[in-house]
């Protein structure tokens, strides 16, 4: 049987998603918990890897197992062995043709940013921070240059392993609630550090260091040195992949309602 799981996690304590020799990754902790619950080794494949410090609202993984257990058993049983900052949100049996990464038609991220003269405290590690006022109109104008299919080399980390820098950005939404900004991105796929690099450039424009038209120039340069430095991972959330409705998988978790 092939099983898909929806996972949420606070990434502050981890060296990203992907398994490493240190064992201090979300994948390592998840697979250890699954293996304890199943009483046999379990290896997972995910929809999209996240960096150190990045959070997940609905990471999706799949794995094959010979165990026949109820969905709620996989959820509660696995969560028993997970640390408090990682939790299985849902479990669904899927056809053998399902692949958490290959079947995703899009991926969604949100970046939550605090604009305040004072640094974060209770939300430290969960939000990015700027102390200068931001210009919403300028950032939205700049973000419009990113929509569509482009070569995103200017926003690609040197360690990126993607075969092509060409991606299709479907949506960039920028909103504000009180002192908190929310930047939401949806694309067919993302490059390593792509959103954090875009955020650095959007904030340079929002703070008046660059004009809105500069974003299109950076994109056209196809040169990482043309863009701003990589911004903090603290406020970045992987909202999860988007799948065709016929797979019958959940589209959100409870954490969506908590996120500003």
Active site residues: 51
**Beta strand pairing status for 106-115 and 166-177?**
unpaired
Closest to 65 measured CA to CA, from 91, 88, 42, 45: 42
Find how far residue 112's CA is from the centre of its chain: 12
- As a whole number of angstroms, the distance between CA 173 and CA 183 comes to 6
108 within 8 A of 186, measured Cβ to Cβ: yes
Cα–Cα–Cα angle for 114, 120, 126, nearest 5°? Answer: 75
Structure tokens given for 221: 């340069």
User: Rounded to a whole number, what is the distance in angstroms from the first to the last CA of the chain?
Assistant: 37
Alpha carbon distances (Å) from 134 to 24, 47, 73, 180: 36, 33, 47, 11
Residues 6+ apart with CB under 8 A from 40: 67
Structure tokens at 232: 């903090």
The candidate with the shortest Cα–Cα distance to 7, out of 75, 70, 99, 108, is: 75
Residue recorded with tokens 């479990």? 91
16: alpha, beta or left? (left if phi > 0; alpha if psi -120 to 50):
left
């Amino acid at each position: 049987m092939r099983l898909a799981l929806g996972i949420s996690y606070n990434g502050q304590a981890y060296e990203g998603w992907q398994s490493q020799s240190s064992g201090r990754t979300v994948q390592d902790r998840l697979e250890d918990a699954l293996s304890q619950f199943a009483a046999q080794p379990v290896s997972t494949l995910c929809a999209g890897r996240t960096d150190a410090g990045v959070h997940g609202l609905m990471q999706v993984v799949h794995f094959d197992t010979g165990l026949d257990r109820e969905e709620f058993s996989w959820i509660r049983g696995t969560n028993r062995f997970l640390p408090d900052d990682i939790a299985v949100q849902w479990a669904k049996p899927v056809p053998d043709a399902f692949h958490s990464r290959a079947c995703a038609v899009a991926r969604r991220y949100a970046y939550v940013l605090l604009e305040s003269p004072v640094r974060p405290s209770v939300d430290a590690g969960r939000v990015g921070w700027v102390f200068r006022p931001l210009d919403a109109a300028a950032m939205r104008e700049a973000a419009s240059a990113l929509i569509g299919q482009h070569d995103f080399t200017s926003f690609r980390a040197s360690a990126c392993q993607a075969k092509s820098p060409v991606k299709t950005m479907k949506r960039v939404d920028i909103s504000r609630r009180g002192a908190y900004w929310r930047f939401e991105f949806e694309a067919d796929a993302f490059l390593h550090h792509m959103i954090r690099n875009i955020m650095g450039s959007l904030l340079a424009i929002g703070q008046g260091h660059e004009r809105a038209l500069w974003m299109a120039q950076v994109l056209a340069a196809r040169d990482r040195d043309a863009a701003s430095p990589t911004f903090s991972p603290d406020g970045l959330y992987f909202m999860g992949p988007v799948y065709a409705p016929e797979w019958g998988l959940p589209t959100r978790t409870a954490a969506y309602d908590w996120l500003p």
